[in-house]
Every structure is written in structure tokens, then in C-alpha cells.
Structure 1
């Protein structure tokens, strides 16, 4: 029996931060596809199948010169569109000498790649993470290479009650796990909204607010299929109007997350933290980046151990609680994207 795909291919996935793609070769695996990236002389980005047409040696082992990759094995050269431009010891080029080229888009400080049907690669479908480059916001982020199914990271982000237990020393307190929430969904999005009113602020938020007294705290999680999660978070002094829409007395962050499946059980987790206060304070930007990185390291440990347990118990199923509503809707939207791609193939095989 053929195993069901774990991810859709007709989607934009982040392959790297924009600064990572230079005029040199960078190998990444996206949705089980090995791809080599480089920035051309005109600053555009090439993304090619990382396997030479001739004997399949990874092109990422080769040499980049004049926007062409020379294969390290026998010296075939390929341009940025994947076309072979030179074969050693012969004048005529085999017309089939072509490696696959993948569509790319550079947006929100990320380089996105489309591993599916290139005819469907619509740039308007790039997930919205504009806070990452909006002048009204400041911040930075990192990449975590996690040894787990990318959907476990999505689950983790859609249910923040784990903060109470996994991140008790920083952003978690009892209010996160015990406060009510509202989950909504559409064809491409799922949202979980939680307000924690008149509570004691956890250590991280107390430090950011810099004011005494109880706070109203919010978490608004917005999932965009297949694997992007933007989380609107913050606190404001209780009674200053944040639940009604006036956040002027508080502090607001956006935690931006997009997860790229590398293989069926590994992924690249790209994240950033953006804020709308003290925007020119580079020291704070660095402190927040490193602080959030430490928090996410706690998640990484849990997720990788969860993946190990799943592999040790392949017949066990997940049980769901009320708090899993957001992650359940996210997975359903992912499954719908996968089904849309696989259904025509199944029909063609009948």
C-alpha cells in the first residue's frame, strides 16, 4: 500500500533567508527534493535540481562561475534555467540535457520556492509575513533544523497552552492553559484567539511592558496553509482598552513562523520576532532574538522526542482535546491541499 504524501507540493515554501543566497552554491532539501540555489549577477535567484543530468552527482559539489554551474564529475555546465551549455569533448549538445528549474520568489526577507507544478506557481499565494520587513516593525529571527514531521511544529504553534508547562520560566503561566479561546477557519486559514484578562504578567512580558500591575494579554494565532503561522501577541495594563482594540498602552509582538518540510520526518523552521516599540534599539532586537531562540530550543527538544516516540509506536494514534481545535483545523486544511493534488493521479490510474 502506497504511503499517503505528508505535504502538498503546489505551495510556496521558504528555502532560506534572503542573505543566505549569495553568488555561491547552497544546497537545501525541500519536500524530499534536493535543490541547489545561487544568486545570479543580476541579483535574481536560480534554483535547480541538485543532480547532474549526466551521472546525477550533486551540482552543489560543483563550481559556480559566470552564473553557470560546472559539474565536478565530468565538467558539464548548466545555466540558471537548468539548460546544459557545455559538454566536454563534443561540439553538439544533447537537446535533452536539462535539469529541472524551480520557481522562486524573494519576499518578507525570505526566499520561497515552489516544488510542485511550475504552471501553478502564483506569487500572490506567498504567505503574508510582511511584518518581517515593515518599517513600522523591528525584529530578527533564525532557522531551526528540527528532526520531526513539520506538522508537529504546526501543532505546537496552534496550541499555546504548552507555554504553561514547557516555557514556565519565561512566557508561560497558568492563565494560558486555563483561559477560554475561540477557533475559526476558512478555506486557507485557521485562527485561534485567546484573551487572558486581568492576570499577572509572566516574566518575559513583565520585562517588555515595564509597568507594575495586572495585564490583559492576547494571543491571536493565524495559520495559513500549508505551514505558515503568524502569532499576534502582547500585553497591556488591565482596563486600558486592549480587548476593545486600543493597544496604545501596551506592547505588541508578532511571532512569525513558517515551516518547510525537508523530508518526511525533518523540517526547517524559519522564525522571526517583530515588535512595534523601541524599534531603533538594536540591543533589544538582539536580546529578543536570542531570548526567543532559547524558548524555541525548549520546543525543539519536546518535538524531537515526540517524533522519536511516534516512530517507536507507529500504530498509536493521537487523542485530541478541546485545546487541539486549531491544530485539527490546520491539519484538515493541509490534508485538503494534498487530496487536491493526489486525486487527479488516482483517477488517472483507474
Structure 2
């Protein structure tokens, strides 16, 4: 159901500021914590003594102390000490590669030998002072691939998001899809349309008129294992659309990190990065609040969809032209999963 040899967003740094965090990712129960040296560690959330959750304990120096009987676990998964006991023969638990970058904590739930920071794709907006970012986290009871489908085909905006980003021109405008290696791109360009409420607010946020026609674009980028970045924006009509000068447009990147918890639940790290008025914190909060309402609407639809699919597991679903982005993305996911399941050669 999901590829494990990949980097997934596990949490945000503030989630482990005060105490360890227990979180299930790709069916792996993991305890995350920050040691006294400032480095983040991730180990199996299982005390080898009695099976207690290590994440319910506390951090001492660079180790994780079990809150049940005081076993001290090192960041490499080896027991360091335990009151009144020799621990040399204690079994080692799994430790997970983890990196802190771009404002997130990333974990590699698969084969640690294959993990490399170089395999985390570059996020051009994350370390650039000319960009601002605001986002949040939703726990959603659905297969993460349903969210991939949702994000790679934005036709649903016309119907699900009628009061914010939806407008009839979205489903009236053809969408194009192309695949470049493991990168899937779907694009839709709408010319000479009136901006919907969400984009009216953003135009005002960049001191632009909000009551005139605009050229609008949506360019969705899927990258494995389950990351979707969506270039969105509007420019005053006739000024060049996607390529318009910055003074005539508002554009952003919708950030979507989809982290599977189980086959039917996921962690959804969402946000928006923008390169206009990046120092305006009130604008960042305004956009984040508006986006939160949009994604809450998606959540209601997807959770109901998941319940329906579980009731009818054998029903064949229709595939339409608008589904091409999701279909191509799923093919990449399936290929990566299949590759992981191939038997590994035995050394001579």
C-alpha cells in the first residue's frame, strides 16, 4: 500500500519541543525525540522490557527513558542502562534514519541502508527569505492515495469548494497531464475569468484590484512517495498569466505532504508558500486560516469516500480523462512498492 524506502514528513519541530512524540507511519510505531545535543532521533516505540511505549517516557541527555520501569534507550536502538540490571544481552530495537530540514522532521521507515539525505527532493521555497510559509496538520481517515487523486485533479473545486476557490471555469477548462520519470504534472490555465473569494483576498493582500478579470493557473506536481506541490495563482487578465510580472499577479505553492499512518489513515501536512509580502505575518495567518477551511472540506469528502469504498471493496470505479494525473501518480507508487517486494539477491 505504500513505499517504505522513502522520506516522509513525520512531524514539525514544535511537536517534539517538550516531550517525545509517538506516531505511526507506514504501519511502523515510532518514537521521536530531541536529545540535549539538539539532534532528533527516532526509534521503535517499543520498550524491550515489557513492551511499553517509549514515547510516553522522557528525554535524559541524548537518550529516551521508558516511563514504566526506567529503561534507558539510546538513539541507535540499543539499551544503555536500566536500574538494577545488566543490559548487555537486551535485544536491539529498530532505529530509523531521520533528518531535520525545510522546517520539518523527516523519517525513512524502510531499509536504513538505503536512506540518504540526497534522496529528499529540493524545496526551493523553504530556505528562501523571499518566501513565507504557513500551514498545519490534519489527521484523516482515508487511504493517502485518495488524497493523491484529489490533489492531482482539481476539478472537484467547482463542487466541493464553492465558497472559496471553486468556480465553474475549472471544470470547463481542459487539463493536460504529462509524466517525466517519477514526476507527474497536471496543468490547467483559465483565461479572463473572475477571481473566486480566496483569490480576491490574495489580490487585496498584494495591493491589487480584486474586481477585474484575471488569468488563473493550477499546475500540480506529484513526486514520490506522496508529495504534491501545486503552483497556483492569478494575474490581471492580459498581463501574461503564469508568466506575468510580479506586480500584476499573486502566486503561491500549495504544499501537500501525505504521510500514510495505516492503509486507511494518514497524516496530512498542508500549507501554502508565497513570494509576495513575505514579512506580513497577518497575511500569512489569513491565508492559513482560509486554506484550513478548504482542506477541511476535502477531509469530509475523502473520509466519506473511504467508508464507502470499505463497504464495497469489489466495486469497479470509473476512470475518466480528468483522472489521468492520479492514475499516473498511482502507477509510480505501485512500481516503487513492487520494487521493494522483489526478493533481494543472496550474497555468495
From 112, 126, 142, the counterpart of 1:132 = 126
Whether 1:75 aligns to 2:74 is no
Listed as ranges, the matches of 1:16-27 within 5 Å are: 16-27=11-22
8 Å Cα contact 2:42/2:98 also seen in 1? yes
In the superposition, relative to structure 1, how do residues 326 and 189 fare at CA in structure 2: closer, same or farther (>3 Å)?
same
Whole-Å separation in 2 of the counterparts to 1:298 and 1:7: 25
8 Å Cα contact 1:108/1:130 also seen in 2? no
In the superposition, relative to structure 1, how do residues 183 and 76 fare at CA in structure 2: closer, same or farther (>3 Å)?
same
In the superposition, relative to structure 1, how do residues 271 and 257 fare at CA in structure 2: closer, same or farther (>3 Å)?
same
Bigger mean CA deviation after superposition, 124-133 or 78-87? 124-133
8 Å Cα contact 2:194/2:214 also seen in 1? yes
Write out per-residue CA displacement over residues 105-156 of structure 1, whole angstroms, 9 at most, x where no aligned residue. Answer: 1111110000000111011111333423421111210000000001111111
Whether 1:110 aligns to 2:104 is yes
Listed as ranges, the matches of 1:140-289 within 5 Å are: 140-209=134-203, 210-211=208-209, 212-244=211-243, 246-289=245-288
Where 2:93 maps in the other structure, the secondary structure is coil
8 Å Cα contact 2:233/2:242 also seen in 1? no
Aligned position for 1:3: none
Q: Give the Å deviation of 1:247.
A: 4.8
In the superposition, relative to structure 1, how do residues 130 and 53 fare at CA in structure 2: closer, same or farther (>3 Å)?
farther
Whether 1:122 aligns to 2:138 is no
8 Å Cα contact 2:231/2:251 also seen in 1? yes
Instruction: Using structure 2 for the length normalisation, give the TM-score.
Output: 0.94
In the superposition, relative to structure 1, how do residues 108 and 130 fare at CA in structure 2: closer, same or farther (>3 Å)?
farther
Write out per-residue CA displacement over residues 215-249 of structure 1, whole angstroms, 9 at most, x where no aligned residue. Answer: 11011100001100000000001110124554541
8 Å Cα contact 1:76/1:88 also seen in 2? yes
Instruction: Using structure 1 for the length normalisation, give the TM-score.
Output: 0.93
Aligned position for 1:61: 56
Could you list the runs of 5+ residues in structure 1 that have no partner in the other structure? 1-5
Whole-Å separation in 2 of the counterparts to 1:48 and 1:126: 20
Where 1:344 maps in the other structure, the secondary structure is coil
From 23, 28, 33, the counterpart of 1:28 = 23
Whether 1:306 aligns to 2:301 is no
Aligned position for 2:295: 296
Whole-Å separation in 1 of the counterparts to 2:273 and 2:93: 38
In the superposition, relative to structure 1, how do residues 192 and 247 fare at CA in structure 2: closer, same or farther (>3 Å)?
farther
Q: Give the Å deviation of 1:58.
A: 1.1
Whole-Å separation in 2 of the counterparts to 1:81 and 1:206: 51
8 Å Cα contact 2:37/2:62 also seen in 1? no
Whole-Å separation in 2 of the counterparts to 1:178 and 1:294: 24
Aligned position for 1:330: 329
8 Å Cα contact 1:129/1:230 also seen in 2? no
Write out per-residue CA displacement over residues 185-215 of structure 1, whole angstroms, 9 at most, x where no aligned residue. Answer: 1221100011001111112112222413211
Whole-Å separation in 1 of the counterparts to 2:70 and 2:38: 25
8 Å Cα contact 1:216/1:242 also seen in 2? yes
Could you list the runs of 5+ residues in structure 2 that have no partner in the other structure? none
Whole-Å separation in 2 of the counterparts to 1:316 and 1:94: 54
Aligned position for 2:43: 48
The number of aligned residues is 341
Whole-Å separation in 2 of the counterparts to 1:167 and 1:193: 19
Bigger mean CA deviation after superposition, 80-89 or 103-112? 80-89
